[in-house]
Amino acid sequence: MSASETYHPLLALDDWPVVIALVPPIGSPERITRHLSALERLIADGRPFVLVMTHDGPSGEEPPADQAERAIWYKARLDSLAGLCRAIIQIETDATRRTSIGQRIEALAAAFPIPMRVAADMDEARRVAAAFMPSPPRQPSAVSTSPATSRM
């Protein structure tokens, strides 16, 4: 069992703070419940991250019941998620669907506090994620002690 499997079976953590979430295929049992439990695990961890979502199998339109379950969860947990998640990047290999997702993202941008992007593949997703990654703590700058800058 890998470290990611012990953390959560749908999450790959090898490139933390970039987290890869494998979204179960549409129609799989408890698809949304399993995906949302992965998000709960990330919130419970308390560390900032960038979420890259990829699909296990063909993507498509979610059934209304899945959309409703996701909407209820986001309504209750969005502030907690937004406090830690620096961006959500969805991988979509189909150019037509990628364009459609990009248009939905633009429409949601004003109401959704987490930046969202769509990428064609994992390499592009990693490049996009880099712009949103939490910065490491800054080291204090060295203070000059030369006579020209010190005051006695």
**Could you read off the pLDDT of 95-132 as tens digits, one per residue?**
998 999 899 899 988 889 999 999 999 999 999 999 99
The SS3 of residue 70 is helix
Question: 15 to each of 21, 49, 126, 152, how far by Cα in Å?
Answer: 12, 10, 9, 49
Domains and CATH numbers, the chain: 3-130 (3.30.750)
**Could you read off the pLDDT of 73-97 as tens digits, one per residue?**
999 999 999 999 999 999 999 999 8
C-alpha closest to that of 24 among 49, 53, 52, 55: 55
Report yes or no: 18 and 129 within 8 Å, Cβ to Cβ.
yes
16 Cβ partners below 8 Å, 6+ apart? Answer: 47, 49
Q: What is the pTM of this model?
A: 0.80
